[in-house]
Each structure stands twice: as C-alpha cells, then as structure tokens.
Amino acid sequence: MFTGIITDIGIIKSITRGMGGDRGDARWGDTRMDVTCAYDTDGIDIGASISHSGACMTVIEKGADWYAIEVSDESLSKTTMGDWTEGTRVNLERALTGKDEMGGHLVTGHVDGVGTLIEMSEIAGSHKLRFEAPQDMAFGIAPKGSITIDGVSLTVNEVENNQFEVNIIPHTWQVTTLGNLQLGSKVNLEIDLIARYVARYLAHMKA
C-alpha cells in the first residue's frame, strides 16, 4: 500500500526486453528496467514494493544508487510504462509502513487506466489540469474525492462525464513529474479504493 505522497523522482537508467528462454517462446520474458534514485538502497530489500508513477513494482536487484524491476507485458500494455525510454523521469514512493504519516490517501499501486491531459491553465501560481479518463472509470471519480495521477494523491475539483479537473499547487508541480506534463500527455490513473469497493458492493446488491 502507498499514500500517493512522492518521496523521490527516479530516472530509467536502462531497459532490457525479454529475450525468451527455456520456455521456447521468443515472446516470453518480462522487461527489466534499471532505475536510478536518491534512496539509500541499503534500506531497500530485494522483493520490496516501490510505486513507479503509480504502478507498484517489485525490486529484483540493486546497487549503490539504483535498483532493478521486472515489468510484465500486462503492465506495459495497461499503463504508461510501455512508453518509457532510457532517461524517463518517474515518481517514486516506497511502500507504506506502520510508522508512516498518512498524508495522502490509501493507494494500491494497481493502475485502473491511462488518462490524457486535455486542458491546462495557470492560476495564481497553481495549475489547473483537466484529464479525460477511460469511460469505464467514470463511476469512481467524484468531486472532492481522491484520485491518483502518476502516483500522486490529488483531490478532484470538478467532474463531467469521464473528464475531471484537479489543482496542482506549486510545491507538487516542482517535486513531481506533473510539472513536465504537456497537452496530450498520458498518465496512470487509480481511482479511490473506497469508491471501487462501494461500486462493487452496489453492483452486487443489484445482481
């Protein structure tokens, strides 16, 4: 679990595509990504979970200022990770512990869909961003509710069908990758955990 409070920005150091293997299928094999970071990697265990712009991945190897993850084809196709290249900057957050402050909201690190930035304006130093989400995510996006955008916990201001607006304060704009977004940029979205289970409960009640 995570909180949506970014603690570092990592850089994709290298990407190695799956090369097949004993299974005899040239398509088999996850994609390895090496990530440089400012974390003290001595404190990161092999098998630890880290959120990468909202997508939870497992650490499989590490060095002094880097660690490696393996990304499945499913994750590549259902998140923005398939578009990442060497040098891509990504929001990082280590998994929540019992001692951490709950500064954002409960985030699973399981991306629900990819959204698109369709409008952007600056107001008194802050930035108002309007995104279009996949239609099947609209049920879980509500005014004053929480949403995770590229791993960042944010509050939804307005909602219109499958489009919604958020406000980014200058601090968040500067210390996350959201400040690099441009019109048409793709982002990983995760709806609020409570909204997901309420919707599932209501669907069950109607069945």
Nearest residue to 166 (alpha-carbon basis) of 121, 134, 203: 121
Kindly report, residue by residue over 66-113, the tens digit of the pLDDT. 999 999 999 999 999 999 999 999 999 999 876 666 667 889 999 999
Instruction: State how far the alpha carbon of 27 is from the alpha carbons of 17, 18, 166, 185, in Å.
Output: 10, 7, 40, 29
pLDDT of residue 170: 96
Helices (H), 152-192: 170-175
| For residue 26, pLDDT beyond 60 | no
Decide if pLDDT at 27 tops 50: no
Full set of structural domains in the chain with CATH: 8-94 (2.40.30.20), 113-206 (2.40.30.20)
pLDDT over 90 at 20, yes or no: no
The rounded distance, in Å, linking the Cα atoms of 5 and 1 is: 12
| Total count of residues recorded for the chain | 207
* pLDDT tens track for 135-176: 999 989 999 999 999 999 999 999 999 999 999 999 999 999
Six-digit token pair at 203? 């669907």
**Nearest CA among 4, 63, 3 for reference residue 34:** 63
Q: Which two tokens stand for residue 137?
A: 């995510």
pLDDT at position 99: 67
